[in-house]
Amino acid sequence: MTQQSEVTIEEGSTNVYADLGYADAAEMQRKSQLAGEISRAIKARRLTQDGAAVLLGIDQSKISRITRGQFRGVSEAKLLELVAKLGHDVKIVVGPVRRRAGKIELQFA
C-alpha cells in the first residue's frame, strides 16, 4: 500500500525574483528582460558571440554570461546601451504618477 502525500501548489507572481525573495526583484526582472532581448537580437542577426562582442565593444565572455542570464554586475544602463547597439530604439518616458512612487516598466515592440 502506497501513501499519497498532499502537494501544495502556490501561485507565483509575474516576477520570479520577487517570488524568490530578492530585495531588488523589479530591477532583476528588467535586467532579465533586457538580457533576453539581447540574446534574441544576437540570434536574429546570426552573430557569433565573438561577432557580437566586436559589434558591442565588450568581451565575448561578458556576452556569454549575459545571454545565459548571468547579468549581476552589469547595469541596466549598460544593457540598454547594448540593446541599442543591436539595432533597437530605446525610449525612456518620464511622466507624473498618481501614487507615491513611480515604477519602471519595459515594453518591447
- What does 26-43 look like in DSSP terms, one character per residue? HHHHHHHHHHHHHHHHHH
Secondary structure of residue 85 in the 3-state scheme: helix
Q: Which top CATH class is 17-85? A: mainly alpha
Instruction: Please check the confidence at residue 18 and state whether its pLDDT lies above 70.
Output: yes
- Residue 49 neighbours by CB under 8 Å, 6+ apart: 42, 60, 63, 64, 67
* CA 65 from centroid of its chain's CA atoms: 12
93 burial level (CB within 10 Å; 0-12, 13-18, 19+): exposed
Confidence of residue 104 (pLDDT cuts 50, 70, 90): confident
**56-91, pLDDT tens digit by residue?**
999 999 999 999 999 989 999 999 999 999 999 988
pLDDT at 99: 73
Mean pLDDT of 37-56: 96
Average pLDDT of the residues in 29-42: 95
